[in-house]
Amino acid sequence: MPKPGIKVFAPASVANVAVGFDILGFALEKPGDEVIIREGSSPGLVISLITGAGGKLPYDIQKNTAGYSAYRLLEHLGETDRPLEMEIHKKMPFGSGLGSSAASAAAGVFAVNEFLKSGLSKHEILRFAVEGEQIADGAFHADNVAPSLMGGMILIRDNETLDIKKLHIPHGLCVAVIYPHVEVLTRESRSILKPEIPFKDFIKQSGNLGSFVAAMYTSDFDMIKRSLHDLIIEPQRAHLIPYFYEMKEAALKCGALGFSISGAGPSMFALCDNTGVAQDILEQAKSIYKTKKLHIDTYYSKINHEGAIRF
Ligand code: HSE
C-alpha cells in the first residue's frame, strides 16, 4: 500500500497574449496536470508513476520538468536525501501551446513545497519551476510557469530576476481556446523567429503592450480590442497552424476582443468580454475544422486566479 500523500493540480496557460512575447501569460481553469507526492522508501526523490504521457516522459529526475523543478527546491532546502515519491498524471496534450511542460513543472515544485510545509511562497519557488520548464524548451521564461503556479494574468518585467506583477482582470473577461491536433514543439517554434525586429514595429508593439495593460486596469474593453495585435511573432508562426487566418477572421467576426496564437502554438485563443461570444467562437471553430477534417479540442475558460492548488 502506498503511503498517503498530497495531490495538487496546476492549470494550462496562454502565453504571449499577442502583445507580450515571453513576458505575459494567463492561467486557464482547465485542462491541467496533477502531481501526487508522498513519503518514499529510500533516500532521494523518485518518480514512481507517470500516466497520460504515452511513454514520452522520462522518469529521470534530472530530465523531467516536474521532477527537476521539485529537485531544485529540495536542493535549496538542503533536503535532497529526503525519501519522496512523485506521481505525475498528465491531463493535457504535449506540444499544444497550452503550457503543458510548465503545468508539470509548476505542479511538481508546488507539491513538494506543500508536502514539506517549507513556508516558502509561490513567488519564492517560481524560479525552480522555471528551471524545470527550461529542460523542455531550452529557454528561461516564466510566461507559462508563472500563471500556472500563481494564477491570474502575469506581466513579467524581467525574466532573469522574475520581477513580476499580477494584472487586474476586468469583470467578464473570458477566453475561447482552440487546439488543433498538430504538434508544434516550442523549441522549433522559437528557432524560426528572426533575431531582429524593425524599429517601426517595435514602436507600434510597445504601444500595444502599454495600452493593453492600461486598458486591463481601467476595464476598457474597446482599448483592449485596439491593443491586441501582434505585429512581430504571429506573422512568423501563423504558417505552423492550419487555417489560422480563417479561424482568426471568424473569431473577430463573432466579436472577439482579439485573437492570436497561444504560446508557441498550435493552440489559438480569443479573449472575449462575454461568455456568449466565446461560445460562438468555439462553435465556429468546430464547424471550420470539421470541414477541413482536422480534429480539435476546445476550451472555454475564465481567467483562473488561483493557479496551482492542493485538492
Ligand atoms: N513565450 C514562449 C514562446 C511560450 O512563445 O516561445 C512558449 O513556451
pLDDT in tens, the chain (311 residues): 677 899 999 999 999 999 999 999 999 999 999 999 999 999 999 999 999 999 999 999 999 999 999 999 999 999 999 999 999 999 998 889 999 999 999 999 999 999 999 999 999 999 999 999 999 888 899 999 999 999 999 999 999 999 999 999 999 999 999 999 998 888 889 999 999 999 999 999 999 999 999 999 999 999 999 999 999 999 999 999 999 999 999 999 999 999 999 999 999 999 999 999 999 999 999 999 999 999 999 999 999 999 999 99
Q: From 3.30.70.141, 3.40.50.720, 1.10.10.10, 3.30.230.10, which CATH number describes the 5-167 domain?
A: 3.30.230.10
State if residue 141 touches ligand 1 by the CB under 6 angstroms criterion.
Answer: yes
Q: What is the pTM of this model?
A: 0.97
Q: How remote is the CA of residue 144 from the centroid of ligand 1, in Å?
A: 8
Q: Is 227 in the pocket of ligand 1 (CB under 6 A)?
A: no
| 22 CA to centre of ligand 1 in angstroms | 6
Q: CATH 3.30.70.890 spans which residues of the chain?
A: 174-302
Start-end of CATH 3.30.230.10 domains in the chain: 5-167
CA distances from residue 171 to 15, 185, 222 in whole angstroms, order as listed: 21, 34, 14
Q: What is the pLDDT of residue 187?
A: 85
The fourth-level CATH superfamily of domain 174-302 is: GHMP kinase, C-terminal domain (3.30.70.890)
Please tell me the distance between residue 77's alpha carbon and the centre of ligand 1 in angstroms.
29
Q: What's residue 139's pLDDT? A: 87
Tell which atom from ligand 1 comes closest to the C-alpha of 22.
Answer: 1
Residue pair 174/275 in contact (Cβ under 8 Å)? The answer is yes
Query: Rounded to the nearest whole angstrom, what is the distance from the C-alpha of residue 184 to the centroid of ligand 1?
Result: 11
Q: Which class for 203: exposed (0-12), middle (13-18), buried (19 or more C-beta within 10 A)?
A: exposed
Grid cell locating 1: 500500500
- Please state the atom number of ligand 1 nearest to the C-alpha of residue 261: 5
Ligand 1 atom with the smallest distance to the CA of 143 is: 1
Residues 195, 197, 198, 203, CA torsion sign: negative
Confidence at residue 175, expressed as pLDDT on a 0 to 100 scale: 98
Q: Is the CB of 137 under 6 A from ligand 1?
A: yes
